């Protein structure tokens, strides 16, 4: 057997022996308990509870902030009442939505968005003539994706109120509306 051949054979045997020795050692990472397991188990036991939504003040014109809706030839303009934006302990982002027609008629809704589940709920309807809210019948949570004719809820979820399934803070919502296309996460890490 040549010297080169013995060298290759020796290196090969060394590698095989090393691999066998590594397999014989304990597998600390595979045998350890998953550190997130307890967190997941607690989360499964946790049943989400919706907080009772009180009604906000009726929106004032100076607090309305217009946002864009990605819908061709939409005859409406959309506004959020900046004074009403509130993130509840239940992680529901609540806000007042004002939809104005070309002729000036308004529909006003006090709503909540659950970013984690892609759902929204109407809590109350506003009466522009009396400037009061009236509680809506509880129709339950509605899937944002199921609506074809009300694109504004999908856009609120996609661009303004939520980020990666989590609710934005009030400041982040205002930033997303006033600076369309801004990425809050990238800006946060850039600082």
**Do residues 92 and 38 both lie within one domain?**
no
Count of positions (residues) in the chain: 191
Task: Quote the pLDDT of residue 74.
Answer: 83
Q: Same domain, yes or no, for 138 and 177?
A: yes
Encode pLDDT of 52-98 as tens digits: 889 999 999 999 999 999 876 788 999 999 999 999 999 999 999 99
Domain assignment present for residue 33? The answer is yes
Q: Are residues 112 and 170 in the same domain?
A: yes
Over 60: is that where the pLDDT of 176 sits? yes
132 and 85 part of one domain: yes
Name the residue range of residue 80's domain: 61-190
24-27 LR contacts (CB < 8 Å, sep 24+): none
Question: How are the residues of the chain apportioned to helix, strand and coil, as percentages rounded to the nearest 5?
Answer: 35, 30, 35
Average pLDDT over residues 134-142: 90
Is the same domain home to 65 and 41?
no
Q: Work out how many domains the chain is built from and give that number.
A: 2
Query: Does residue 147 surpass a pLDDT of 90?
Result: no
Mean pLDDT, residues 141-159? 86
Same domain for 103 and 178: yes
Q: How far apart are CA 46 and CA 38, in angstroms?
A: 12
Q: What is the pTM of this model?
A: 0.71
Residue 47 has pLDDT above 80, yes or no: yes
- Regarding whether 66 and 39 lie in a shared domain, the answer is no
29 plus 100 within the same structural domain: no
Backbone angles phi, psi at 46, to 5 degrees: -75, 125
Query: Is residue 53 domain-resident?
Result: no
Residue 33's pLDDT band, with cuts at 50, 70 and 90, is low
Indicate if 73 and 10 belong to the same structural domain: no
């Amino acid at each position: 057997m040549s010297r080169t051949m013995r060298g290759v054979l020796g290196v090969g045997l060394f590698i095989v022996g090393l691999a066998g020795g590594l397999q014989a050692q304990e597998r600390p990472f595979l045998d350890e308990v998953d550190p997130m397991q307890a967190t997941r188990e607690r989360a499964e036991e946790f049943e989400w509870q919706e907080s009772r939504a009180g009604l906000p003040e009726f929106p004032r014109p100076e607090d309305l902030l217009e946002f864009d809706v990605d819908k061709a030839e939409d005859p409406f303009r959309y506004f959020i009442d900046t004074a009403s934006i509130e993130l509840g302990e239940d992680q529901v982002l609540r806000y007042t939505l004002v939809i104005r027609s070309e002729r000036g008629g308004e529909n006003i809704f006090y709503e909540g968005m659950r970013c984690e589940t892609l759902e929204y709920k109407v809590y109350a309807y506003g009466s522009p003539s009396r400037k009061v809210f009236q509680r809506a019948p509880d129709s339950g949570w509605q899937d944002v994706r199921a609506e074809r004719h009300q694109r504004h809820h999908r856009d609120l979820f996609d661009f303004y109120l939520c980020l990666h399934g989590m609710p934005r803070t009030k400041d982040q919502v205002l930033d997303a509306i006033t600076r369309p296309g801004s990425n809050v996460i990238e800006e946060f890490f850039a600082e």
